[in-house]
Amino acid sequence: MLVGNEFATVRIEVDQRGNGDRLRITDERTGRSACLDALELQALALTTHRDLAPLLDPARTLWSEAA
C-alpha cells in the first residue's frame, strides 16, 4: 500500500521474513526502509504528536549527511 501527501510518500507492507511478522515502511524518495515489530507499533500507537515532533524535523534526518 502507498501512503502519501504533499511532503512524503511511503510504501507499507507486511514483512514475514523475520522471526514473526513486522511492518516494513519504505520511503519512496530515498528507498530507505525500517521494520517495526508489534511492540514497536504498540509504542507508536501510544505516542502523541508532540512526542513525534523532533522526528518530523527534516534537518534532523532528511537533509543530514549521516541519514
What residues does each domain of the chain span?
Answer: 2-56
Does pTM top 0.85 for this prediction? no
CA distances 52 to 18, 20, 49, Å, are 27, 26, 5
Alpha helices of the chain — where are they, by DSSP H? 38-45, 49-52
Of the two residues 64 and 1, the one the predictor is more confident about is 1
Could you give the CA distance from residue 2 to residue 25 in angstroms, rounded to a whole number? 10
Could you give the CA distance from residue 58 to residue 19 in angstroms, rounded to a whole number? 32
The reported pLDDT for the residue numbered 33 is: 96
Q: Which of 53, 51, 61 is nearest to 27 (CA)?
A: 61
The reported pLDDT for the residue numbered 47 is: 94
pLDDT in tens, 19-65: 889 999 999 999 999 999 999 999 999 999 899 888 887 776 665 55
